[in-house]
Amino acid sequence: MDTTFFLICFFCSLYFVQVYTGDTTLSGLLQYDSSAFIFRSHTLIIEVTYLDGEKAKAEKYGHVHIEDIVENAHLFYEVEHLVFVHLSQKYSLRYVHVNIVVEYYIALCGFFEA
């Protein structure tokens, strides 16, 4: 599967202020050396469609899984604001808040404070 992605970037000074990845896999973003700027942007808007155990399905259909973010948290160290979009409609707002915001926020904060 072609892992092309569409980027809308607003350039400011020496770095990109905002980067929007659109539908892609994390491995798709990492396959190009020229995409390193994505992980140095002030605000990264990234689609994270899958939040549960469907990691293989996420990769198969060209989406990011929340575990991809957590497993590669070191890549996002320079990103000030990480915004998740394009969540699957199968997740309720309560599910997202309880299972994702609380659990993964704590996990990611623990990584960055270490």
pTM of the predicted model, to two decimals?
A: 0.74
| pLDDT digits 0-9 by tens, 77-98 | 888 888 888 888 898 888 887 7
Q: What per-residue confidence (pLDDT) applies to 80?
A: 87
Domain boundaries, the chain: 8-113
Fold of 8-113: Metallo-beta-lactamase; Chain A (3.60.15)
| pLDDT digits 0-9 by tens, 5-27 | 444 444 444 567 889 888 889 98
Query: Is pLDDT of 41 > 70?
Result: yes
User: What's the 3-state SS for the chain?
Assistant: CCCCCCCEEEEECCEEEEEECCCCCHHHHHCCHHHHHHHHCCEEEEECCECCCCHHHHHHCCCCEHHHHHHCHHHHCCCCEEEEECCCCCCCHHHHHHHHHHHHHHHHHHHHHC
